[in-house]
Amino acid sequence: MNILNIIAVALLAGVLSGAVYGLVNTVLVTPYIDRAVELEALRLGESVDIAYRVWQKEGAVLAGLLAGVAYSSFFSIVYAYMANRNPQGITIRRGITIALIIWFVLYLMPTLKYPANPPAVGDPETIYYRQSLYITYLLISSISAVALALLRAKFVATPVVVGNGAIRYIREIAIIGAYALIMITAYILMPSNPDAIDIAEDILVGFRVTSAITSLMLWLMIGFTTSLLWSRTGLIRRRMSML
Amino acid sequence: MSNGNDRQVIRVERRYPILAIAALAAIFAFTSFALGYDQGQLFSIVVGDRAYEENFLHELFHDTRHALGFPCH
């Protein structure tokens, strides 16, 4: 029953958050994509296939749902792990904090090296190369974050007798510093995006800012909804009574 | 036999919901691939090489793929 509850909560939080994300994207991000598609068509001397764009926009709502389910599943894995470690510490505030950290690690970090680009920027010939660069950077960010989080959990579990406060403070700084060092090294060593960026500045900046905002919103909604549903479905209470 | 000096040790067993985590990991892997990386691979299982030319999922998820920061064209 518990297993089904955890999966059901993840899916429900994902569908709800994803639906809102998909709709907000159509308002905030899609106009920039439309302009980029128009520019690309102009450059190629073609006209925009309106029916095709309508189909793609409908697909964007479906993709929003899928993104919600995908990210919510990942979030629930982290959340279930944390709930097991410390059921009392699991709150909506903690859920939102975890969501913020995940967005930082999975979206912001890769985006600083390989920023999101609107259509008309990417070269189809380099798609597999760009995907491999992006995945590599994503894995460096996520694996180092998970490893350091586990290390931190081990530190926290180890009692400190002397200089308690100061040592804990130094540990936190060391964990954050190690992550920063890894990511700065990766940033310097990893190759840049091979594609030339040849698109109007306002479209590029507007697209990057709005897509960063909506992706942050998606993660925060997942964090909030999952925490709320966990408390509402009694998952935390039930787990606590098991201990 | 116990006496007043015996100390009781309570061991707390924490059971991770392994099956739920495995199921969520599978959902995450499949949906993330379909959403962000598929270039015809999934449909090619059914329709063969035609899937790479049509690139259905890539085109359908095109706008969101861009918005989420995945590489696209």
Min Cα separation B44/chain A (Å)? 17
Q: What backbone torsions phi and psi does residue A155 show, to the nearest 5 degrees?
A: -60, -45
Examine the domain organization and report whether A169 and A127 are in the same domain.
yes
Examine the domain organization and report whether A42 and A157 are in the same domain.
no
Please state, for a pLDDT cut of 90, what percent of chain A lies above it.
64
Closest A-chain CA to B17: A3
Identify whether the C-beta of residue A69 lies closer than 8 Å to the C-beta of residue A14: yes
Examine the domain organization and report whether A90 and A129 are in the same domain.
no
Query: A62 and B31 in contact by Cβ < 8 A?
Result: no
Q: What backbone torsions phi and psi does residue B38 show, to the nearest 5 degrees?
A: -60, 130
The two tokens of residue A150 are 């586990």
Examine the domain organization and report whether A142 and A203 are in the same domain.
no
DSSP label at residue A105: I
Please give the pLDDT value at position A240.
Answer: 46
pLDDT tens-digit series, residues A119-152:
888 788 898 899 999 999 999 999 999 999 999 8
Domain that holds residue A103: 1-121+199-243
pLDDT tens-digit series, residues A156-191:
777 665 556 777 788 889 999 999 999 999 999 999
Examine the domain organization and report whether A213 and A98 are in the same domain.
yes
Query: A56 and B59 in contact by Cβ < 8 A?
Result: yes
Examine the domain organization and report whether A160 and A56 are in the same domain.
no
- From CA A37, how far away is CA A240, in angstroms rounded? 53
The two tokens of residue A16 are 């709800």
- The number of distinct structural domains making up chain A is 2
ipTM (interface predicted TM): 0.86
Q: Check whether A68 has a pLDDT greater than 50.
A: yes
Examine the domain organization and report whether A46 and A113 are in the same domain.
yes
pLDDT bracket for residue B2 (50, 70, 90): very low
Query: A29 and B68 in contact by Cβ < 8 A?
Result: no
Average pLDDT, rounded, for chain B: 85
Q: What backbone torsions phi and psi does residue A29 show, to the nearest 5 degrees?
A: -95, -40
Closest B-chain CA to A21: B64
pLDDT bracket for residue B8 (50, 70, 90): low
Please give the pLDDT value at position A196.
Answer: 85
Mean pLDDT of A75-96: 86
Contacts of A226 (CB under 8 A, 6+ apart): A9, A10, A13, A72, A75, A76, A79, A95
Identify whether the C-beta of residue A30 lies closer than 8 Å to the C-beta of residue A119: no
Examine the domain organization and report whether A109 and A130 are in the same domain.
no
Average pLDDT, rounded, for chain A: 89
* CA angle (A110 as vertex; A105, A115 as ends), nearest 5: 135
Q: Check whether A105 has a pLDDT greater than 70.
A: yes
Please give the pLDDT value at position A12.
Answer: 97
Amino acid (1-letter code) at residue A210: T
Mean pLDDT of A204-220: 97
For A56, the enclosing helix (H) or strand (E) is helix A50-85
- Domain end residue (candidates: A162, A178, A196): A196
Residues of chain B positioned with their CB less than 8 A from the CB of A62: 60-61
Examine the domain organization and report whether A128 and A116 are in the same domain.
no
Examine the domain organization and report whether A165 and A111 are in the same domain.
no
DSSP label at residue A29: T
Interface of B with A in 16-55 (CB under 8 A): 16-17, 19-21, 23-25, 27-28, 31-32, 34-35, 37, 39
Q: Check whether A208 has a pLDDT greater than 80.
A: yes
Q: What is the pTM of this model?
A: 0.88
Examine the domain organization and report whether A91 and A128 are in the same domain.
no
Examine the domain organization and report whether A203 and A180 are in the same domain.
no
